Amino acid sequence: MVRQATLDQLCTFRLGSLYLGIDVREVREVLYHADITHVPHAHPAVRGLINLRGQIATTIDLRTRLQVDEEGSDRRPVHVVVQSEGEQVTMLVDAIGDVIDTDAEIYEEPPSTMVGSARELIVGTYKLDDELLLVLDVEKVVQLEQPEVEGVER
């Protein structure tokens, strides 16, 4: 796993019962609220667009993306802003956590029992003392396949 060697610090966040992390260097900023403009017919994981100081960023709902159950619909999600291929993308998470140092000793490939889209988006896990930290592949998260049914087709 090539990425493992380059991971020094992880920015962590929570999503339902999941504890997730991404390379801290990929995080541009964290936003607490922003007006989201809905985009009809977009991929279900796309929540809409936000105005990020004059740049338009696409907001992806990580719950939908990782197929985590929608339970707390009244949550005030947090935007984690990342840059991908020159475009700004924000990922909606439930709460932002600490930045933690990683330890290669406790790193492992994702468990083979994981299924669904989450399996493809997770590059590995860190076995922390009390729980598992899943490392997300940001590039894959923001890469959405267009659903078969195009919005405008009749």
Contacts to another protein by CB under 8 A: 35, 37-43, 46, 49-51, 53-58, 60, 85, 87-89, 142, 144, 146, 150-154
Least Cα distance to 94 among 38, 20, 10 occurs for 20
Q: Cβ of residue 90: shortest distance to another protein, in angstroms?
A: 10
E runs forming strands in 16-153 = 18-23, 27-31, 46-52, 55-61, 78-84, 87-93, 95-101, 107-108, 122-127, 132-136
Residue with Cβ nearer another protein (59 or 125): 59
Residue with Cβ nearer another protein (76 or 154): 154
Residue with Cβ nearer another protein (18 or 89): 89
CA–CA distance, 107 with 9 (Å, rounded to integer): 13
Q: Cβ of residue 54: shortest distance to another protein, in angstroms?
A: 4
